[in-house]
């Protein structure tokens, strides 16, 4: 994962999820750190708000998107199994106006 550029990607919570909940927030941040560590991605920053999070990684935009995709996949499945609702807004959702696959 070479390169000194930093790229960010944002994930937006679904209407039934709230990252202001400390336990949910800590679980998602821990998952992001674990995925980054296992895949050798340098996770520079995780900025969490009540309605989503932004991951910043050192490397190309494809690296940021890959990390976000894996985080989204694993935590959404976990949240769906545990709470019966999706954690993240899907690009296919009608109410999705803020999803950004990585800029």
Residue 63 pLDDT grade (very low, low, confident, very high; cuts 50, 70, 90) = very high
Q: Which CATH class is domain 6-83?
A: alpha beta
pLDDT bucket at 93, cuts 50 / 70 / 90: low
| Residues 28, 66, 72: CA angle, nearest 5 degrees | 35
Q: Which helix (H) or strand (E) holds 35?
A: helix 22-39
CA distance 82 to 16: 13
Per-residue pLDDT of 2-61, as tens digits, reads 457 999 999 999 988 889 999 999 999 999 999 999 999 999 999 999 999 999 999 999
86 pLDDT higher than 60: yes
- Tell me the whole-structure pTM to 2 decimals: 0.83
| pLDDT(78) > 60 | yes
So where are the chain's domains?
6-83
**What are the φ/ψ torsions at residue 100 (nearest 5 degrees)?**
-135, 110
Q: Render the burial of 58-83: b for 16+ CB within 10 Å, e for the rest.
A: bbeeebbbbbbebbbeebbeebeeee
């Amino acid at each position: 994962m070479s390169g000194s550029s930093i790229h960010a990607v944002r994930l937006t919570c679904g209407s039934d999820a709230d990252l202001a909940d400390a336990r949910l927030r800590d679980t998602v941040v821990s998952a992001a750190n674990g995925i980054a560590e296992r895949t050798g991605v340098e996770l520079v920053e995780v900025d969490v708000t009540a309605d989503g999070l932004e991951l910043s990684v050192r490397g190309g935009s494809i690296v940021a998107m890959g990390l976000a995709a894996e985080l989204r996949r694993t935590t959404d499945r976990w949240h769906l199994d545990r709470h019966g609702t999706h954690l993240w807004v899907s690009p296919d959702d009608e109410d999705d106006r803020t999803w950004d696959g990585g800029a």
